[in-house]
Structures are given as structure tokens and as C-alpha cells.
Amino acid sequence: MLFHLSQIHKTDDTICALATPIGVSALGIVRLSGSKALAIVENLTKLSQPLKSHEIIKTTIKNPKTKERVDEVCLSYFKNPKSYTGEDMIEIYAHGNPHILNDILHLCVQNGGRLAKPGEFSSRAFLNGKMDLTQAEAVSGLIHSKSSLTRKLAHKQLKGEFFGILKELKEALVQTLSHIEAHLDFETEGDVKEFSQDGFLLNKTENLQKKVEGLTTSYKQNQKLMQGLKVVFVGKPNVGKSSLFNAFLNEERAIVTEVPGTTRDVLYETVFFDQSEIEILDTAGVHKTEDVVEKQGIERTKKAINSADIIFVVVHAHEDFQKEDHEILTWLHDKKEHCVLLLNKADLGKRNTPQIFFQNSFYVSAKSGEGIDELKRFLKENYLEKEINDAEFIVTHQRHYEILEKTNEKIQSLKEGIQNKISLEYLACDVSEALHLLGEITGETTSEEVIQKIFSEFCIGK
Ligand code: GDP
């Protein structure tokens, strides 16, 4: 089912929600949006003067029935349409006590409000034309961004950069469509031939394709940076994987003992390193065993290795390779380019010099901390640093990427159609479909189901 903005069912309910996480904190924010927001809050505060838009005032929230004082708060009023949702909005800044915040929410509901669904504030902003769908998605992206890069990209999208790029693409498609339609009425064989040789149209189509491909490539090339790196530690039992893992995390997460085979399962840990999210998996040793639990652990290790971006292969620095080390190295041969060799326990000596196996290797010591900073720097310089200039735009959402891929197929079909001199009607069809697809990204032609799904993934109160 497709709709246009004007056809979407808008409710007149006034919604309210907690906009900050539940828990004890300095402040907690309750927000309201809708035509009754002002009346509800006035009923709870009994202000002597009417609230002025875009001003913050200090007041007391009381239960209007019992006159019981609930909290001393600050509140701000945003008169429509100059608000996030485009409706009348009020934000109440209360003390961050869950009971207080709960009471305020209850009072809002008792006095005519309704609890908001996830993303309902943002969906109202979208429905009221305050932002297009890419900007609404950027709001969510900003809240969930995992690194300085993804945050920067979300800001660019929120500012409307992606919308602007898509607008240009749509304008170029509309021009193409007008060009084709202008010739459509006079379509005779001769005209078609003449038209098909029209370099203008082919040029325009090729330019469009370049731009769309530029966007899809930006998504593919930067996937790893968007999702965070997956790093795994692998090595025979007792080489110090768990200790290195802890040294990397600066905390005691994995259990470290002197009995081989302690790490029976894969431990997942997400760390923020240099503003990027890295997933570290401490895995079971890869050695032959009859122990059922350990066998399962080894199976999981193999799975973890297959999905890892970087494999830290841990060996002893102070002793020669053992049979088990060779087994692991042989086993990892076809993953060589993802492997980094860590010669651990360097504090006990540096006997092993196996640079021959992998391009990158480090002497480290989980005990003394030797080499750990160097290792972090290596990660940063080789995998995490990515600067984008202001003119560059990277597609960050899979939904956008998939639609752009489909758009590209339509443009490719258009290009081939022009080259093969097919009927103008078919060419017009491809252009219209490409236009429709781009509208799905910005929200003009998106199905209601998709829109609901997008907003349902937002936080409550956003
Ligand atoms: P894993 O089985 O590979 O996870 O190894 P662990 O991290 O459990 O470590 C096994 C043993 O080696 C423990 O007694 C650690 O204290 C010790 N160990 C780990 N790293 C070092 C290190 O860098 N130097 C020294 N001297 N001992 C270490």
C-alpha cells in the first residue's frame, strides 16, 4: 500500500513519554506533543501567567486532585509549528527519580495525554513535514551511533545532505522523463532512431548512474567502519589469550587460570576503542580434545574466526613453536591476510621470531603491558582511522543501499534501452520506476508498513 503525506492517518491524540533512560539520574525529561499539551501542563502547574513559546520557566508540578506536590521542575514550551514534531510540545525537566517521573507521566495521562509509542514523536515530525524519512532515520542513527565517524555521518544526513543529493537525482530523472515524453507523441520509427542517437539523453543517464553507483559503493566500502570491527583471539590453551583480552580491555572479564583449556566458550565483549566499537571474542584453544564441552567451544572458535575482521593469533614468545601452534597456523593459512601474530609473555624472553608466518607480528606481554599500546595504535592506524571530507557522503543505511541498487538496475535498463533504440514508452517506464524508488528513500512513496517498521525501531520518547 502506498500513500502520500496528505493521505496518512494523523491522530489528534496528545502523546507523552519519558525522553531519558529509566533510572536514578540528575535530571529526567518528560515530553508531550499534541493540541492538548499546553492545557495538560497548565492544569498540573497552575501558572499565574501563560507559558511563552521557547522560554524555560521554573515551576511546581502538583496533582490537581490531591494538591500533592510532585516535583520542582523546569519546563519549556514549543508552540506549533516551531517544534520538533510540528505540534505544540512541552518538555518537563524534573529530578531524575523514576518515581517522580512516573508520577508526572501518570498525571499527564490522567489529564488527557496518551503514552507515546516508540518513535511516535519522530513519526509526527515526518508526517507534519518537519523532516523527510532520511532525516528521521538520521535521528535514530545519531542516538545509536557507535563512533565519531558514524556520528558525523548521521549529522550530515540530519542536516538534509542525503535528501539534497536525492533531490538532485530526482530532478535529473524528471528532466529525462520530460525529454522522453516530449518525443513520445511523435514516435515514429524515424523519430525513435533520431531520438536514440540523442547523446544528451545517454549522457544524462550515464551521469545519473555514476552518481547512484557512487552512493552504493560508499555503503559497501564503509560497512566495516559502520558496524565496528570484530576481533578474535585464537591460540593453544595457556598462551595468554584471556590475559591479553583483559589487558586490552583493562579489566578482568575472562577467567584466567593456569589449567589449560579454561576458556571453553566464546566470550563476547564490546569495547570502545578510539571512539570506535570493537567486538572482541576470546575463544577456546584449538586443540584436539575428547571433552564434549571443549569440542563445542572449538566449533564456536571456528565460526568466530570465519566472521572476524582481525584474528590475533597468540603464541608463546619465550619458547619454540609446538605441534599445536603449527596446527593452528596451518589451519589459519587461508585467512592469512586477516591474521596478526601476537608473541605473548615477552616478559619471559623473546625466543620466537616467526615474522615469516604473517605480515604483522608483535611481541606483547599481558603481564607487563609491553606492546599493548603499540598494538592498539596498529589497530587504529590500519583499521579504524577514516576521515571524511565535508563534500563526501556515505550511505549508512542498508534500506537506502538496497533501494539505490534497485534504482541503479532501472537506470541500467534505461541506458541499454536508449542504446538499443527501444520504444520510448519503455524508457519512460524505467525512469518513472527509478523516480518512485528514490521516493521510497525520502518517504514520498514509501509503504505504510515500511514507515511503521522504521519508527517502531526508535526509542520511546524520540
Ligand atoms: P589462555 O588459556 O590462552 O586464555 O591463557 P590465560 O590468559 O588463561 O593465561 C595462562 C597463564 O599464563 C596464566 O597463569 C597467566 O597469568 C599467564 N600469562 C598470561 N599472559 C602472560 C604474560 O604476558 N606473561 C607472563 N609471564 N604470564 C602470562
If you write DSSP's letter for every residue of 320-367 in order, what string do you get?
Answer: PPPHHHHHHHHHTGGGGGGEEEEEE-GGG------TTTSSEEEE--TT
The reply to whether 227 falls in a domain is no
When pLDDT is cut at 50, 70 and 90, the band that residue 382 belongs to is confident
Do 362 and 398 belong to one domain?
no
> Minimum mean pLDDT among 125-134, 223-232, 302-311, 421-430: which range?
223-232
Q: Are 144 and 462 in contact (CB under 8 A)?
A: no
Q: How far apart are the C-alpha atoms of 238 and 255, rounded to whole Å?
A: 12
Q: Is 259 touching ligand 1 by the criterion CB < 6 Å?
A: no
Q: Tell me if 196 CB under 6 Å of ligand 1.
A: no
pLDDT, greater one: 319 or 86: 86
Cα(359) to centroid of ligand 1, in Å?
24
Residue 161 domain-assigned (yes or no): yes
Mean pLDDT within 272-283: 66
Q: pLDDT value at position 399?
A: 95
Q: Are residue 169 and residue 245 in the same domain, yes or no?
A: no
N-term to C-term CA, the chain: 26
Longest dimension (CA), the chain: 86
Does 171 lie in the same domain as 62?
no
Going from the Cα of 215 to the center of ligand 1, the distance in angstroms, rounded, reads 47
Question: Within a domain: residue 449?
Answer: no
Show which of 343, 367, 384 is a domain's final residue. Answer: 384
Tell whether ligand 1 has an atom less than 6 A from the beta carbon of residue 301: no
State the pTM of this model. 0.70
In this structure, the dihedral spanned by the alpha carbons of residues 119, 125, 129 and 130, taken in order and rounded to 10 degrees, is -130
Q: What is the pLDDT of residue 254?
A: 55
pLDDT at 27: 96
**Which ligand 1 atom sits closest to the C-alpha of 366?**
23
In eight-state DSSP terms, residue 305 is H
pLDDT number for residue 120: 94
> What CATH number has the domain bearing residue 218?
1.20.120.430
Q: What gap in Å lies between CA 195 and CA 197, rounded to an integer?
A: 5
Tell me what percent of the residues of the chain surpass a pLDDT of 90.
Answer: 50
Q: Other C-beta atoms within 10 Å of 383: how many?
A: 16
Mean pLDDT of 282-304: 71
Q: State whether 152 and 36 are in the same domain.
A: no
> 191: pLDDT confidence band, cut at 50, 70 and 90?
low
Which of these three, 114, 131, 148, is where a domain ends?
Answer: 131
Query: Distance from the CA of 251 to the center of ligand 1, in angstroms?
Result: 15
Report the nearest-CA residue for atom 19 of ligand 1: 240
Q: 3-class SS at 127?
A: helix
**Same-domain pairing of 342 and 245:** yes
Which ligand 1 atom minimizes the distance to the CA of 368? 23
Is 206 in the same domain as 245? no
Ligand 1 centre to CA of 439 (Å) is: 57
Tell me the Ramachandran region of residue 176: left when phi exceeds 0, alpha when psi lies from -120 to 50, beta otherwise. alpha
Is pLDDT of 97 > 80? yes
| Count of CB atoms situated within 10 Å of the CB of 183 | 18
* Cell numbers for 289: 580434545
Are residues 242 and 380 both part of a single domain? yes
The verdict on the CB of residue 348 being under 6 Å from ligand 1 is yes
Q: What is the CATH number of the domain that holds 335?
A: 3.40.50.300
Cell (9 digits) for 274: 578510539
In terms of domains, do 122 and 88 share one?
Answer: yes
Model confidence at 333: pLDDT above 80 = yes
Length of the chain: 462
Residue 349 pLDDT more than 70? yes
Domain termination site, one of 339, 362, 384: 384
User: Residue 368: is its pLDDT beyond 80?
Assistant: yes
Report the residue among 234, 256, 315, 362 best suited for mutation to probe ligand 1: largest number of ligand atoms under 8 A from its CB. Answer: 256
Q: Is the pLDDT of residue 5 over 50?
A: no
What is the 243 CA–ligand 1 centroid distance (Å)?
A: 6
Q: Does residue 359 share a domain with residue 273?
A: yes
Query: Which bin fits 336, alpha (ψ -120 to 50), beta or left (φ > 0)?
Result: alpha
**Spatial distance between the Cα atoms of 429 and 421, rounded to a whole number of angstroms:** 14
Structural domain count of the chain: 3
Structure-block grid coordinates of residue 280 = 572482541
- Alpha carbon nearest to ligand 1 atom 22, residue: 345
- State whether residue 310 is helix, strand or coil: strand
- For the Cβ of 433 lying below 6 angstroms from any atom of ligand 1, the answer is no
Residue 437, H or E segment: helix 424-442
Least confident of 69-73, 182-186, 267-271, 342-346: 267-271
Domain that holds residue 75: 5-131
Is residue 117 assigned to a domain? yes
**366 pocket-lining for ligand 1 (C-beta < 6 Å):** yes
Query: Do 351 and 306 reside in the same domain of the chain?
Result: yes
Give the count of beta carbons closer than 10 Å to the beta carbon of residue 178: 10
User: Are 266 and 341 in contact, with CB atoms under 8 Å apart?
Assistant: no
Q: Is residue 229 part of a domain?
A: no
Per-residue cell: 372: 599493548
Percent of the chain clearing pLDDT 70 (strictly above): 84
Residues 296 and 355 in one domain: yes
* Residue 436 in domain: yes
Residue 11 CA to ligand 1 center (angstroms) comes to 62
Residue 185: inside a domain, yes or no? yes
119 and 151 share a domain? no
DSSP bridge pairs for 271? 278
